[in-house]
Amino acid sequence: MELTALANGAEQVDSAIVLINGGQVKIVPDSSTMKFSVFVPPTPGYIPRNDPNRQILTISVVRTDGTPIPKRDVALALVAAENTAGHLHSGNPPKPAGFLNGAATAQVNTGPTGIIHTVTFEAPEPSGPVTINGTSTGATPGSATVNVGLFTLSPYGPGAGYTLIGGDTHGGKHPGNHYATASHISALQRLAGSYNVRFHSGLQYNDASLQFGGLFDYAWETTPWNLPHAGHREGMHRDLRIYADTVNHLPGLSGAQLRHMKKYWKDALGGTIHLETDHWHLVHP
């Protein structure tokens, strides 16, 4: 015998005695970690890139015994944790948190089975924890946190033949700016070693990636959560100062020095180089 009842404001269909004492929203991501998304618009000077990263969330409202309650409306919203993953700036505007079914929030219904696996979470461009909050009338709210980032990058510390710069600029809001892949770091070390032996001076390496990669909005004061660092997200991009540093009275590099670096980086190491206004942008996986 099938009964129909109203439980917590929602029509409940059950097959036995209806025993609904509130409920709890359950949000279960397919994975608790995921890589960030990358979007680079077709801006002059950059190669456009549209590389979303998505996963599916399982949504339900469950009774105290854990069984799902059918046909419950659930409101979902996202919050990104500020001051995480290398971004020490917050609130101008809030850190992007990604999308739920293509929007900032989502309204879903748990349907006849009481459990759905149809909500898509699209990771934001910056790394860091993102919490997915769910509410349903009469039920205890629930949440789940997904750590967004690339968790394979290594810090590139001080060493012979180079100086790491850039972490103290722009208010020092991205102090951990020298994370990269092991292969990239090895290539940088070889370049610096070759250059140092030949020219008896060091290179100045600027921004690579943040600790867990993702969008690196070094110019956060003017373009928060946006370019111009289109690359610098996966530990494979690095800036190299080539012009004079008038503040620290350091000379620019000579033609022979530039040619050496170009040849070594591209021919010997297989990397690529682009010009970015006042510096070289080194790319190596």
Partner 1 sequence: MRRLCLTLLIAVSTTAMAQAPGTQLTVDVTIKSLVLRGDTVGITYTVFNRATSRDSLFDFTVDAPAGVKIISQPLPDTSYMVLDSYHGRPVADWGFLNLLIPSATSIPLYFESVGLPGIVTEWVGGDVPIVEESADTLPDDRLAVNSVQGKTVGVNPWPVDRTSKALIARLRSLTQTSCASPLTWITSATLCTKLIGYLDQAESNRAAGKRTQAKAAMNNYITSLSGKTAGTFASGVTNPGYWLLKPNADIINGIL
Burial of 184 by CB count in 10 Å (0-12 exposed, 13-18 middle, 19+ buried)?
buried
Q: Is 276 in the site for partner 1 (CB under 8 A)?
A: yes
Q: Check if the beta carbon of residue 191 is closer than 8 Å to that of residue 264.
A: yes
Q: Which stretch binds partner 1 (CB under 8 A): 89-97, 100-108, 135-143, 266-274?
A: 266-274
Among 15, 17, 42, 247, binds partner 1 (CB under 8 A): 42
d(CA 104, CA 113): 26
Residue 163-202 contact track with partner 1, rule CB under 8 A, x = bound: ----------------------------------xxx---
Beta-bridge mates of residue 103:
100
| Binder among 46, 52, 56, 250 for partner 1 (CB under 8 A) | 46
Measured CA to CA in angstroms, residue 53 lies from 34, 99, 149, 179, 216 at distances of 8, 10, 11, 21, 17
Q: How many CB atoms lie within 10 A of CB 268?
A: 12
Binding status of residue 273 toward partner 1 by CB under 8 A: yes
Q: State the minimum distance, in angstroms, from the CB of residue 186 to partner 1.
A: 15
CA distance 105 to 206: 37
Residue among 141, 175, 270, 285 that touches partner 1 (CB under 8 A): 270
Alpha carbons 174 and 184: distance in angstroms, whole number:
20
**Token couple for 47:** 């190669």
Q: Which of 256, 278, 284, 285 binds partner 1 (CB under 8 A)?
A: 256
- Is 47 a residue that touches partner 1 (CB under 8 A)? yes
Q: Taking contact as CB under 8 A, which single stretch among the options 13-21, 65-73, 214-222, 267-275 is the one that binds partner 1?
A: 267-275
**Shortest Å, Cβ 207 to partner 1:** 16
Q: Which residues pair with 142 in a beta bridge?
A: 134
Alpha-carbon distance values, 18 to 3, 40, 74, 103, 139 (Å): 8, 53, 21, 35, 16
**Of 14 and 276, which has the nearer Cβ to partner 1?**
276
Nearer CB in complex with partner 1: 117/263: 263
Q: Which is nearer to partner 1, 148 or 240 (CB)?
A: 240
Query: Per rule CB under 8 A, is residue 263 in the interface with partner 1?
Result: yes
Q: Which H helix or E strand runs over 190? A: helix 182-199
How many chain residues touch partner 1 (CB under 8 A)? 28
Locate the DSSP E strands across 219-278.
237-241, 272-276
Q: Which residues make up the interface to partner 1 (CB under 8 A)?
A: 42, 44-48, 197-199, 255-257, 259-260, 262-264, 266-268, 270, 272-276, 280-281
